[in-house]
């Protein structure tokens, strides 16, 4: 079994109860990975920041007791496995292992766990 390396992402105070925010984690060979950190019922969860429906940012969504809600069309993603609990999304978002130690939030990006990222934005130039 491959060891996953946990990397520092944020101070615990940056992710208070009921809040979701965007952060970046060094994914090693996978490069930098954009994630949404959300705290629900005291536990911090990490997911890809891109909704699998139409790439809206999950960090702009809302923490619910069932999962992370995408504010664009209302899909809710289970914190544990990233599965969509409600439509329109049909595919899970990538979730990442999280630990909290000494007031620090640490996230691991297992090899091969890099999400596809923003499909359309990647091909659209700005300006
Ligand atoms: S983009 Fe997230 S539900 Fe549509």
pLDDT 10s digits, 75-95: 999 999 999 999 999 999 999
- Predicted confidence (pLDDT) per residue in 19-76, tens digit: 999 999 988 777 889 999 999 999 999 999 999 999 999 999 999 999 999 999 999 9
Write down the domain spans for the chain.
Answer: 6-111
> Which class is 6-111 in CATH?
mainly beta
Distance CA 50, CA 65 (A): 20
* Residue whose CA is at the smallest distance from ligand 1 atom 1: 54
| 85 Cβ closer than 6 Å to some ligand 1 atom | no
Distance CA 75, CA 77 (A): 7
Report CA(71)–ligand 1 centroid distance (Å): 7
Sheet holding 76-78, edge to edge: 62-63, 67-69, 76-78
pTM of the model: 0.87
Which pLDDT belongs to residue 83?
Answer: 98
Tokens 């920041």 — which residue? Answer: 49
């Amino acid at each position: 079994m491959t060891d996953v390396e946990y990397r520092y992402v944020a101070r615990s105070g940056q992710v208070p109860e009921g809040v979701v925010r965007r952060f970046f984690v060094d994914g090693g060979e996978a490069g930098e990975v954009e994630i949404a950190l959300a705290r629900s019922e005291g536990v911090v969860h990490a997911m890809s920041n891109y909704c699998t429906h139409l790439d809206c940012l999950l960090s702009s969504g809302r923490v619910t007791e069932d999962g992370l809600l995408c504010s664009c069309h209302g899909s809710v993603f289970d914190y544990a496995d990233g599965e969509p609990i409600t439509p329109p999304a049909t595919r899970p978002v990538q979730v990442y292992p999280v630990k909290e130690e000494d007031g620090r939030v640490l996230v691991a990006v297992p090899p091969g766990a890099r999400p596809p990222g923003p499909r359309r934005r990647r091909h659209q130039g700005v300006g």
